[in-house]
Amino acid sequence: MAGATANPDVDALVAEAGAWLDEHWSPELTVGDWWDRLGNSGWGFPAWPERWFGKGLRGDAARRVISERLRRDVFGPPTGISTFLAAPTILAYGTDEQKQRFLPGIATGRDVWCQLFSEPEAGSDMASLQTRAVRDGDEWVVNGQKVWSSGAQFARYGILIARTDPDVPKHKGITYFLIDMQQPGVEVRPLREMTGEAAFNEVFFTDARIPDADRLGAQGEGWRVAMTTLSNERDPNNPGMGPGGGSMLGKPDLTLTVAEYRRRQSEEIDAFSFAIGGGAGALFDELVQQFGVAGDPVFRQRRAKLHSDRLTQRWTGARGKANAKGGQPGPEVSTLKLGGSNVGRDLRNLGLEAMGPAGMLADGDAPAGGIFHRYALFVPASSIAGGSDEVQRNIIGERALGLPKEPDESRDLPFSQLRTSRRPGA
């Protein structure tokens, strides 16, 4: 009704969060001390369960608590694969013992994680992976190769899917593990990108070992567990994705004061974090004003379309959040992922056009110190990471529109009988 106020229970929660922040926050704390306080308080990730470093809040309540922190300009919780991929999957499938062991290091930013899914011959068709895990008593022995593993060079742990049974169809013989990345038998080789950075890596396993206690979910159920991870990767509503503190890929220096860390972070932002954090949109608006193209009628029309597409993304995100079942995102996130790739390309193209000849410069000679240019070079990755555009279209067609699946013999044949580059005559 007109003039109605917000839910008084939510108001009380927001006031409680604000009071806690006023009492405990200081930019002179070290990053480690602040994340210890914030992580253990539950206010860092308010949508997580109360028992596991959260407040069990949903919807508007969680959003308003986060907004209250942002309004106070309080440094956020850790961000990265640890919080937006590993944590939601562990919360969904982990045993209490696994949650007790792994979630504290995630919530307080002490443990960096990486994702070990894609392989050189298993990218868009990820279920064709050939990394093997063989049972040896109470452990699994892992051999194989992964690629495009973001931040693996900094990681303490990794989320890994490996083939544990080659004699069943490919989707059914996969198991999900939590692996120690700092053990013998794990080799990480950074991959230099055209941005000049090394956000991604290839990872080689040679007789690496994983205790069976670090298996996540049942043996052979890894594909189902991995779909939870991938759905969270494609979901911009994911509370672990941000807005937060730290780096999406690096290993934070927990000994720095928050004030010093923020200063360095603003100077050393990488293209990946810039893209994920949404900074490109704000910088685009600044560049439009700087180069005086806002009044050009053709540019204005294209900018209006970009604006409407960004709004559509926001509304689609809200619909996806409303339709989530049991806290798990549905197929709507593929629409968001595909739309995000399209918006990224349009934003890149318009931003470079707005700069005119200056759009051809690079690094320190380019406007804004070249950060938008590094973003422009990173944009193609958004159509691959987290599932390619083609994969998203298949998911939308099959799971959202109800179209029949493509014919695929691999759904029924044992993986050991499928033709691959290693077994062309199978």
User: What is the model's pLDDT at position 424?
Assistant: 45
Q: Is residue 101 located within the same domain as residue 160?
A: yes
User: What is the model's pLDDT at position 384?
Assistant: 83
| Residue that is last in its domain, among 51, 77, 103 | 77
Task: Find out whether the peptide bond into 104 is cis, omega within 30 degrees of 0.
Answer: no
CA atoms within 13 A on the CB side of 184: 1
Asked if the structure places residue 405 within a domain, the reply is no
Q: Is residue 94 located within the same domain as residue 224?
A: yes
Cα pseudo-dihedral 203, 205, 210, 212, rounded to 10: 100
| Residue that is last in its domain, among 36, 61, 77 | 77
pLDDT in tens, the chain (426 residues): 333 334 558 899 999 999 999 999 999 999 999 999 999 999 999 999 999 999 999 878 888 999 999 999 999 999 889 998 999 999 999 999 999 999 999 999 999 999 999 999 887 788 999 999 999 999 999 999 999 998 899 999 999 999 999 999 999 999 999 999 999 999 999 998 887 888 889 999 999 999 999 999 999 999 999 999 988 776 555 555 455 566 656 788 999 999 999 888 776 666 666 665 567 888 899 999 999 999 999 999 999 999 999 899 888 877 776 666 555 667 778 888 899 899 999 999 999 999 999 999 888 889 988 889 888 988 998 888 777 888 889 888 988 888 998 777 777 788 888 776 655 444
Distance CA 298, CA 301 (A): 5
Q: Is residue 90 located within the same domain as residue 158?
A: yes
Asked if the structure places residue 377 within a domain, the reply is yes
Long-range contacts of 287-292, Cβ-Cβ distance < 8 Å, separation of 24 or more: 287/351, 287/354, 287/355, 287/367, 287/368, 287/372, 288/354, 290/367, 291/354, 291/355, 291/356, 291/358, 291/367
Q: Which domain holds residue 59?
A: 13-77
Q: Is residue 102 located within the same domain as residue 166?
A: yes
Q: Is residue 90 located within the same domain as residue 219?
A: yes
Helices 59-71 and 8-24, axial angle in degrees (round to 10): 30
Sign of dihedral through CA atoms 39, 43, 48, 53? positive
Distance CA 143, CA 166 (A): 14
Q: Is residue 283 located within the same domain as residue 218?
A: no
> What element of type H or E holds 145?
strand 139-147
Which residues are catalytically annotated?
A: 233
| Tally of structural domains, the chain | 3
Q: What is the CATH number of the domain that holds 167?
A: 2.40.110.10
149-to-85, 158, 226 alpha-carbon distances in Å? 13, 9, 15
Q: Which residues are bridge partners to 136 per DSSP?
A: 139
Asked if the structure places residue 417 within a domain, the reply is no
Q: Is residue 309 located within the same domain as residue 359?
A: yes
Q: Is residue 203 located within the same domain as residue 129?
A: yes
User: What is the model's pLDDT at position 156?
Assistant: 96
Q: Is residue 100 located within the same domain as residue 62?
A: no
Residue 68 CA, chain-centre distance (Å), reads 23
Cα–Cα nearest to 166, from 205, 133, 211: 133
Read off the tokens for 107: 């919530």
Sign of dihedral through CA atoms 349, 354, 359, 363? negative
Confidence (pTM): 0.82
Q: Is residue 132 located within the same domain as residue 68?
A: no
SS3 of 220, please?
Answer: coil
Asked if the structure places residue 411 within a domain, the reply is no
Q: Is residue 61 located within the same domain as residue 148?
A: no
Question: Interior CA angle at 122 toward 229 and 411, to 5°?
Answer: 85
Percent helix, strand, coil in the chain (nearest 5)?
50, 15, 35
| Residue that is last in its domain, among 77, 100, 120 | 77
